[in-house]
Structure 1
Amino acid sequence: RLGQAFIRKAAELLKKGGVAWIVANRHLPYEAELNAAFKRVRLVAEAGGYKLFEAVK
């Protein structure tokens, strides 16, 4: 739940067009929370057990 709360807070604090870069363990299901909180979400990379997202408000 900590990761989901972080995503919601990041979206709340960013201005329109602001970008959050999120690194997460590959097995954690953050995609739904990112898509709900941000206008655009892109998986940039996935390697070594991690995934990197670019999330634009």
Structure 2
Amino acid sequence: MPQLAPVNWLFLFIMFWSLVALGSTLIWWSFKAEYTLPESPSQSSKTQSNLWSW
């Protein structure tokens, strides 16, 4: 394995943990429950169908 300068190791360390944080944030955001109250009973089925969509 070739030797890397300390600046490159620092860059790889920061890039790795930023990608881990971004991935975990996207996973958390996609599985986050949306708690909303429907305005009328006719909209309750519409709200349930869009519960897991972006």
The alignment's TM-score, normalised by the length of structure 1, stands at 0.25
The one of the two structures with greater contact order (alpha-carbon pairs below 8 A, sep at least 6) is: 1
Higher strand share: 1
Larger radius of gyration: 2
Higher helix share: 2
